[in-house]
Each structure stands twice: as C-alpha cells, then as structure tokens.
Structure 1
Amino acid sequence: MTLRAPAAHRSNALHAGAWWLWALGLAAAASRTTNPLLLGLLVGVAGYVVAARRTDAPWARSYGAFLKLGLAVLVIRLVFSLVLGSPIPGTRVLVTLPEAPLPGWAQGIRIGGRVSAEQLVFALYDGAKLATLLICVGAANALANPARLLKSLPGALYEVGVAVVVAMTFAPHLVADVVRLRTARRLRGRPTGGVRAVLQIGLPVLEGALERSIAVAASMDARGYGRTARVPRAVRRVTAVLTLGGLLGVCVGLYGLLSADGGSYGPPFVAAGLLAALAGLRLGGRRSVRTRYRPDRWGVRAWLVAGSGAAVGGLMAVWDPAALHPGVVPLQAPALPVWPALIILLGLVPAFAAPAPPSKEESS
C-alpha cells in the first residue's frame, strides 16, 4: 500500500502560511552556510518542491524570475569583487587590472589592482548565499496563494496585507498581458521586437492595468474595505504601546543573538517582544469589522510542511559553523558534510505531504 497525497481542491488546500514558514526555514539554513554544495542542495530541494506542487496560477510562474534574479546577483557580486577588490588576502594572483589613483581620504578603497583566486572564490560563496536566499523567497511566492494568505492575516494587518497582495499580484498579471499581446502580434505576422513594437504593446498593457485597478477599487469599496469599528482610546493606546514595544524588543533580542556577547539577553528579549507584539495585534484586530468566508484551516499537512522547514532552519542553526564554511585562505575544495546534507533533505517533505495540484488531464 502506497501513501499518496490527495489532489488539491478548495476544501483541503494547504494553508499559505505553511509555505512561507517552510521557505523561511530553508532561507535561514542558507544564511548559516557558504558551502556551495549545501547551497546548491537547498536550491535543488526548493526547485523540486516547486515543480511538484505549484499550480498554473499567474503567481506560480514567478519562480523562474527569481532564479534569474539570483544568477544576476551572483554575477554582480563577482563583478564588484573584480573591480573594487576584496579584503581577503590572496597569494594566487590571476590577473592585475589597471588601478585608478584615489585621493588620500579614500584610504582602504581601491579600484582595480590585483585579482586573486581566493577573493573570487570568497565572492562566489557570498553571492551564492544571497542568491539562495532569493530563490527560497521565490519558492514561497510560487507556491503560496497571496489571496488566501491575506485571509489568514490578523485584523490589525489587513490594510497592509491588501496593499502587499495587490503589489505581489500586479507583476505576474503584467507579465501575462505582455506574453498574450506578443503572441497575438506574432500570429498576425507583426514584429514583436524593436522600439515601435514595445510602444504598441505597452499602451494596451497599461490600459489593462488601469482597468484592473479600477475593478479592484470598485470591488474593495463594495465589500466595505476601510470601514472600522469604534474602539476606546485607552485600548488604542495600549495596542500601540504593545505593538511598538514588542517590535523594539524583538530588534534588541535579534541584535543580542547576532552579537558576540548578547547570548544571555537575546532570547528573553525576543520571546517577550513576540508576546507583546502578538498581544498588540490581537487588540488591534478589534477595529476590524470584516468577516471570513471559508477560512483556511491549519491541518496536519500544514504542520508537516511548516515543521520540515523549521527543522531544516533550526538544526542548521545549532550545527557547528566550522563544517558549514569551507576555507578560502588557504584555498581548498569544498566538501559535502553528510549530516547537514541529510538535514536539508528534510525540506523535501512538502513534495509528498502537500496536496498535489490537479493535472492537466484532470482539469480538462
């Protein structure tokens, strides 16, 4: 007997927050290492889950754009290292570029000069880590329905959430309009490149975006968007104090966790700040008069998806950092640590636990 995930439909759709927690766990793991083998494994895990569980919705096509963005970030990091140099000392000089003379007040900064293999490898590792972070965020964008994520936000963040969701869905719709218009011009035998073609495509795209924004504004007004309930002034003040104080506590706690001597006061500040912020958001939700139709449920599969990402990020956070950062000086080939690699493979759980999207044969 084989266990198979059920086909996704409206009643058993995975909670959008579970996808974001899973992706943030992978991103946290990527921030802990510069090993290119582990970073490539994280990208492979995220790509496999996206390929197995994304739908045909417009936002699901954004993963390719994040891959290209990550590659662009990697190239830019290498170019900066070539042009501006690096503080990493290196003995294996590859090339010597012409160095521009700088004034005395710009000591410590150089343009050009020697380019060593050590500094390029260090820039490659650093750029790969940032690219992996962007790809993990792109996986969450491709898997989580932004409209369903909006339904799960607290009432205090509803207005901000609407603005974020509209901004997130604008770009995919814009890309879909451009593809549709270019296909139509190609079928009519008209050119799709050049300045004239871009201008002729841009006007219908902007017209469609304007019509869509007017329709969104009309639907929001019809649903009573922006209407709030009466809340006593004392409750509003307590809400503001709890929310701002909680966020400040979280910032202080995170600074303590990142600093060398803040390990004692960092976790208590983070815990107290989170509790205060959640209490403030809970009180702030009293001003919202909206209701939820068919709210998404956080079921067992959502726990499995979110838990797998949290396990990857948490276990990588407590792992020995020396095994996660290959040496650059002296230059040596990176090795694949077995246990961190097995930890990263836990991120494949959503590919089997999350409901499977309907296939083309089923939808047709």
Structure 2
Amino acid sequence: MSLTRLPRDVHPVAWWVWALGLATAASFTTNPLVLLTIAGVACVVVMARRSAQPWADAFRVYVIVAIVIVVMRVLFRVLLGGGVDGGLVLLSLPEVPLPSWVLGLHLLGPVTRESVLAGLYDGLRLGTIVICIGAANALANPKRLLRSVPAALHEVGTALVVAVTMLPQLVESARRVRAAQALRAGENGRGGRLRRYLVPVLEDALERSLRLAAGMDTRGYGRSGGATPAERRLTGGLMLVGLCGVAVGVYALLDHTAPRVLATPTLILGVVASVAGLSLAGRRVGRTFYRPDPWEWAEVGVMLSGIATAVVAWWVAGHQLVVAYPDLVSIPQVTLIALAGSLLGLLAIAAAPEPRVVAA
C-alpha cells in the first residue's frame, strides 16, 4: 500500500460509527477531564479532516449549542433549588415557596458547591454528546449517507437526510444572505435588520430542502414493486417479532432482576428477525447506484478508532468507578487507561485520507 493517498471522501457510515463511539464513551462517564478530552478529540478530527462543503461549517453551531447546554444546566440547578443537605453553601439566595404538590421543588434558595458541580458534570456530558454528533454531521456527506440507508427504510431515510441537512443549509443560507445584505442599503434598526435577515434565511433553507425532496422523488427514490399478500404478512410478522424482541431484550439488560433468558437471547432474536424483515422488505425496492461509495481500510480504521474509544470507556465505567463517576467533594481523578482510551479517537486522522475538497 502506498504511503501517499489520493484525497477522497471517507464513507459517511464510517464517520457516523466513529462519532457514535465517542458519544457512547461520553455517556459512560461524568468525569469532566475525560469529557473535555473527548470533546477536544472530536474538534481536532473535524479541523483536520473536514472539507469545504456547507455542512462542515455547521460544526461551530453545535459547539455553541453544547456551551449553551452546559450554562443552562448549571442555571437550572441554581433556579430550581441548588441546595443539597450538608453541602458547602456558595451563595445564599432568597427562597421562593411553592405549593406542596410540586413534590419538593423550590425556586432559588442556598446554592451549594455540590449542586453546581453536579449540574456542570451533567451538562458537560450532554454537551460532549452534542459535539460528537456535530462532528459526524460536519465530516459525513448527508446526501451520500442516504445511499447507505437500507432500501426498506427509504421513507425514514428521506426524512432523516432532510432533517440532518437542515442545520447546514441554514448556515449556508445565513452566509449567503449576510453577503447579499451587505451590498444593499436598508433599515438600520434592530427589528429591521432582523426582518431583512431572518426571513430570507428561513425561506432559502426551506426552499433548498424542498428541492432536495423533489429531486429524490424525481429520480424514483424509494419506488417499490408489488408484493404478494403472503410476503407482506411475513415481512410484517418478522418486523413485529423483531421490535418486541429488541424492546424486551433491552429492558432485561437494564433490569438486573429480570430473568437472564429474556436478556441477551431475546435481544439477539429480535435483531435477527428485524434484519430478516428489512431484507425481505428491501427486495421490493429497486435501487441503482452510480459510483457506489468504496469501503476500504481507511473506513475500517476510522470505525475501529471510535469503537475502541467506546469499549475502553465501558471498561473504565465497570472497573474504575471513581474515575468514571467522580464524587462532588474532591478533585476528579483520571488514569492513563481512561485518558488513552479517550485519545484513541485521534487515530481517525491517521486512518482517513484528506478530503477531496480541503477547507481553507
């Protein structure tokens, strides 16, 4: 294999598996040091491997949303009762009494160190997950992702792609409208600028989404052939069995008091039945591919880096509880395994080639 690789776009499924691996790792811990490391890894990979396409510019919006989530989580802790019995009081605010039917909630009151840290840790975990999902949206081509959706899920795939592309389209529309408004004279008031800016942005983003849906419909996306009543009953039965199996299996895995026979065996049975049902339903949908996306060793490396991060975080959560879930009265600790596991996501930079259109 040559050391110099030609620029190309990595398969979008590989980027999504990598991002979901990082998000899974973030869900296994509340340690702020580990969470900041995972968020930093996602940011570094996006900066190194993003392209100049419109959806790549939407990543900064996800970062802003993550910061807002952290701030709002702490503010809600303060507003909805930030006091914890026995905690170190940082600020004493006048408490607003509420009726008894609100189940003990109260407004304001004493703000303790433990409550603020609890809100900060929870907000960091949710914000890191948002950043990981934003990294997937910035790195993966959403239109190419549509081609990877199973044929039986064409309707869900259409809605998913339109929803995923909405935020990048808003960012691109905002940039175009801002450049156009800078060349025109108009109202200088805040309300006037908002009308001149907001309405064209929303209209342009909606129009582009409708053009995407119309283009897919014109090309016959999701057009299905006929099926016999027996095939429809078999497909529906498999999907129903698969859905029930997955639901019961996941519940049994989360509830340790449930019989173990309802856990992994039922979950495996549900997954197998669902895959079989999707395969049978997909035979009725005829799709052709022009230049199908390749799946090479680069995609495998990107995917494995995210999976490895999630596996290490899962191990740390089960064997190093003090590191995964630090208490609120001491400085969070981090071990070499937890830190190295979070940094495994950086291997995606080495595995993935440069994008075809490099960001400026």
Q: TM-score, normalised by structure 2?
A: 0.91
Residue in 2 that maps onto 1:352: 350
CA contact (8 A) 2:51 2:358 kept: no
Q: Find the aligned partners of 1:177 and 1:266 in 2 and give their Cα distance.
A: 48
The residue identity in structure 1 corresponding to 2:331 is A
2 CA distance for matches of 1:192 and 1:270?
A: 61
Shift in alpha-carbon separation, 1:36–1:218, aligned structure 2, 3 A: closer
- Aligned pair 1:292/2:289, yes or no? yes
Which residue is equivalent to 2:18?
22
Question: Residue 94 of structure 1: which of 70, 90, 95 is its match?
Answer: 90
Rate the CA distance shift 1:260–1:110 in 2: closer, same or farther, 3 A: farther
Partners in 2 of 1:86 and 1:242 — Cα distance? Answer: 49
Give per-residue Cα distances to partners, 1:75-122, cap 9 Å, x unaligned: 111111101125854421112222122223334222222211111111
Structure 1 alignment gaps of length 5 or more: none
CA distance in 1, matches of 2:358, 2:157: 32
- Amino acid paired to 1:352: A
The Cα offsets for residues 271-305 of structure 1, whole Å up to 9 and x where unpaired, read as 22211111111111012122122222322111111
Aligned partner of 2:322 in structure 1 is 322
Q: CA deviation at 1:207?
A: 4.9
- Structure 1 residue corresponding to 2:246, chosen from 250, 261, 279: 250
Cα distance between partner residues in 1 of 2:32 and 2:61 = 21
- Which range moved further: 176-185 or 71-80? 176-185
Which moves more between the two structures, 103-112 or 310-319? 103-112
Please, which runs of 5 or more residues in structure 2 have no aligned partner? Answer: none
Paired residue secondary structure (2:22): helix
Aligned residue in 2 for 1:308: 305
CA RMSD of aligned residues (A): 2.5
Aligned residues: 356
**TM (normalized to structure 1)?**
0.90
- State the Cα deviation string for residues 296-349 of structure 1 (Å, max 9, x = none): 232211111111111111222122233211111xx1011221111111111111
8 Å Cα contact 1:8/1:355 also seen in 2: yes
**C-alpha displacement at 1:188, in angstroms?**
4.1
One of 255, 264, 267 as aligned partner of 1:267: 264
- Paired position in structure 1 for 2:176: 180
| Mean Cα deviation higher: 165-174 or 215-224 | 215-224
> Residue 73 of structure 2: which of 69, 74, 77 is its match?
77
Q: Pick closer, same or farther for the CA change 1:207–1:72 going to 2, 3 Å.
A: closer
Give the alignment partner of residue 157 of structure 1, picking from 146, 153, 165: 153
Aligned 8 A contact 1:90 1:118 in 2? no
CA displacement 1:211-233 (0-9 Å, x = unmatched): 53554354334312353101112
* Aligned-partner residue type, residue 230 of structure 1: G
CA contact (8 A) 1:84 1:110 kept: yes
Shift in CA distance, 169/345, structure 1 to aligned 2, threshold 3 Å: same
- Per the alignment, residue 7 of structure 2 pairs with 8
SS of equivalent residue, structure 1 residue 336:
coil
In structure 2, how many angstroms separate the alpha carbons of the residues matched to 1:312 and 1:210?
Answer: 37
